[in-house]
């Protein structure tokens, strides 16, 4: 054999050997999770919004009170309504009288949307869980059957998802004796 041919064959075998070793290393490295080109996979999901509130404290009993007297729930005697956001999004809440319910008082100054029956919202032991600047936080007449915006952006995180709705009654001086009640409706919508 000729020296040139032998040299060319030797160079070819050397290059081929390096190529085989490199390809073997690449295959071995890929088996270990090495040179992979870093493929990326994406998983996605859309979670539906759940708008749901409950009233853990759903009745307020002022007991016996005389004509011309006033009482409210700010001293927790009786306790106010407690509204809780049980959903998965922040909510806005409206308040109105149940259309099938009669107004709380019928005497002079009684009836719908009068100073004889008022409400406001307050923080709970969880803190301020709604935005105060757009929630009703001062005494406001309880509306008739037309809903009135009451609470805005009540949070849904369990550590801060409640608001108190305080009530104030001013019994008219000419209110007839008897048991008085009025049903209120709280309606939530996604904020």
Digit-coded pLDDT (tens) for 93-120 = 999 999 999 999 998 888 888 999 999 9
Which residues lie closer than 8 Å to 163 by C-beta, 6 or more apart?
Answer: 82, 83, 93, 121, 122, 123, 124, 129, 130, 135, 151, 154
- By the 10 Å C-beta count (0-12 exposed, 13-18 middle, 19+ buried), 147 is classed as middle
pLDDT at 23: 62
For residue 75, the 8-state DSSP code is T
Query: Is 153 within the bounds of a domain?
Result: yes
Higher-pLDDT residue of 44 and 19 is 44
Backbone φ, ψ for residue 92 (5° rounding)? -105, 145
Query: Is 12 within the bounds of a domain?
Result: yes
pLDDT at 16: 64
Strand partners, 154: 91
Higher-pLDDT residue of 22 and 129 is 129
Q: Are residues 32 and 65 in the same domain?
A: no
Q: Are residues 116 and 136 in the same domain?
A: yes
Q: Are 51 and 190 in contact (CB under 8 A)?
A: yes
Q: Are residues 19 and 64 in the same domain?
A: no
Q: Are 189 and 92 in contact (CB under 8 A)?
A: yes
Query: Is 180 within the bounds of a domain?
Result: yes
Residue 44, pLDDT > 80, answer yes
Strand partners, 148: 95
Q: Are residues 77 and 160 in the same domain?
A: yes
pLDDT (mean) for 4-15: 64
> Nearest 5°: CA angle at 188, between 147 and 146?
5
Q: Are residues 94 and 141 in the same domain?
A: yes
Cα Rg of the chain (Å, integer): 36
Q: Are residues 37 and 77 in the same domain?
A: no
45-83, pLDDT tens digit by residue?
A: 988 899 999 999 999 999 999 999 999 999 999 999 999
Q: Are residues 63 and 3 in the same domain?
A: no
> The domain that contains 140 carries what CATH number?
2.60.40
Indicate the SS3 state at residue 19: helix
Query: Is 126 within the bounds of a domain?
Result: yes
Q: Are residues 68 and 29 in the same domain?
A: no
- By the 10 Å C-beta count (0-12 exposed, 13-18 middle, 19+ buried), 18 is classed as exposed
Give the range of the structural domain holding residue 36, as residue numbers without chain letter. Answer: 1-43
Q: Are residues 20 and 88 in the same domain?
A: no
Query: Is 48 within the bounds of a domain?
Result: no
Q: At which residue do the structure tokens 């099938």 appear?
A: 100
Which residues lie closer than 8 Å to 49 by C-beta, 6 or more apart?
Answer: 87, 88, 89, 190
Distance CA 95, CA 148 (A): 5
The count of structural domains within the chain is: 2
Residue 173, pLDDT > 70, answer yes
Q: Are residues 30 and 60 in the same domain?
A: no
């Amino acid at each position: 054999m000729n020296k040139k041919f032998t040299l060319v064959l030797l160079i070819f075998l050397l290059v081929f050997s390096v190529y085989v070793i490199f390809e073997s290393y690449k295959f071995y490295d890929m088996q270990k999770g090495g040179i992979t080109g870093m493929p990326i996979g994406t998983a996605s999901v859309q979670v539906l919004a759940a708008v749901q509130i409950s009233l853990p404290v759903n009745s307020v009993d002022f007991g016996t009170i005389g004509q011309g007297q006033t009482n409210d729930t700010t001293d927790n005697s009786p306790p106010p309504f407690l509204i809780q956001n049980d959903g998965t999004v922040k909510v806005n809440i409206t308040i109105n009288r149940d259309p099938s319910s009669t107004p709380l008082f019928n005497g002079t100054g009684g009836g719908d949307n009068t100073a004889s029956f008022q409400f406001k919202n307050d923080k709970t032991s969880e803190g301020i869980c709604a935005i105060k600047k757009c929630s009703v936080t001062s005494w406001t007449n309880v509306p008739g059957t037309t809903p009135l915006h009451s609470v805005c952006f009540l949070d849904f995180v369990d550590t801060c998802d409640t608001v108190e709705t305080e009530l104030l009654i001013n019994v008219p001086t000419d209110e007839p004796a008897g048991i008085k009640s009025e049903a209120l409706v709280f309606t939530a919508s996604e904020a």
